[in-house]
């Protein structure tokens, strides 16, 4: 990864402003997920099209990912996935993965994101990642919105030990999309009705691997109340 961006905060207000700046319809919002148990999940507005997990990166998490096999899975050709080649771009990439894999439901107006997705169609994951490095409209919007979080933005060179990953339902399966991995991870069958609960189970697995770490957050891409 050559370029470095300011990190994006896991803050629904910031993320929603960012998506609207990129041309995403206000009918869809990023909302906090306050718990991963069934009762807490019921408070998420429906339909819900994506879950985004922010998790702490450490030696154990990196080792687990290195051991997971992703090259022998069934991956639907409908999945839009892009590689991450920019430091601290994971928040933007998680949002792009969530929106791009739900374009049949989400209206995207003319703007930087629509332009990027139109150009990304037909490219492979690596070329899409390279395309993002030169997507000036998205880069500018990211730079502006990264300054609006509740905490002071660090210098771009400051090491950030947290990472965003997106979960979406595509073509009958639950996919984990992380631009640093070798490809999408298929977590098995799901439905629009079961998606939230199934994605929450995978998020809980992340947390259970590091039960003493409290630096996990989850947000959802859901219909506006």
Which DSSP symbol is given to 122?
A: T
User: Could you tell me the sign of the dihedral formed by the alpha carbons of 85, 89, 94, 98, in that order?
Assistant: negative
Nearest residue to 201 (alpha-carbon basis) of 225, 158, 164, 167: 167
Catalytic sites, residue numbers:
90, 163
Tell me the CA distances in angstroms from 19 to 5, 112, 156, one per residue in order: 17, 10, 22
| Pair 25, 108: CB distance under 8 Å | yes
Nearest residue to 94 (alpha-carbon basis) of 121, 137, 55: 55
| Pair 196, 48: CB distance under 8 Å | yes
């Amino acid at each position: 990864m050559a370029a470095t961006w300011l990190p994006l905060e896991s803050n629904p207000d910031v993320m929603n402003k960012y998506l609207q700046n990129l041309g995403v319809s206000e009918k869809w919002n990023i909302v906090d997920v306050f718990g991963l148990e069934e009762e807490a999940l019921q408070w998420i507005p429906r339909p819900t099209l994506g879950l985004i997990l922010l998790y702490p990166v450490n030696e154990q998490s990196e080792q687990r990912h290195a051991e997971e096999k992703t090259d022998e899975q069934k991956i639907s050709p409908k999945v839009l996935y892009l590689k991450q080649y920019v430091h601290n771009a994971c928040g933007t990439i998680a949002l792009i993965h969530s929106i791009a894999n739900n374009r049949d439901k989400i209206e995207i107006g003319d703007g930087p994101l629509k332009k990027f997705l139109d150009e990304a169609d037909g490219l492979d994951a690596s070329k899409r990642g390279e395309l993002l490095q030169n997507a000036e409209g998205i880069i500018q919007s990211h730079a502006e919105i990264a300054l609006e979080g509740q905490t002071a933005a660090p210098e771009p060179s400051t090491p950030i030990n947290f990472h965003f990953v997106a979960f979406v339902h595509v073509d009958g399966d639950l996919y984990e999309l992380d631009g640093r991995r070798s490809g999408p991870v298929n977590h098995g069958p799901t439905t629009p009705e079961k998606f939230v609960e199934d994605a929450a189970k995978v998020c809980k697995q992340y947390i259970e691997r590091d039960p003493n770490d409290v630096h996990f957050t989850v947000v959802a891409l859901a219909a506006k109340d």
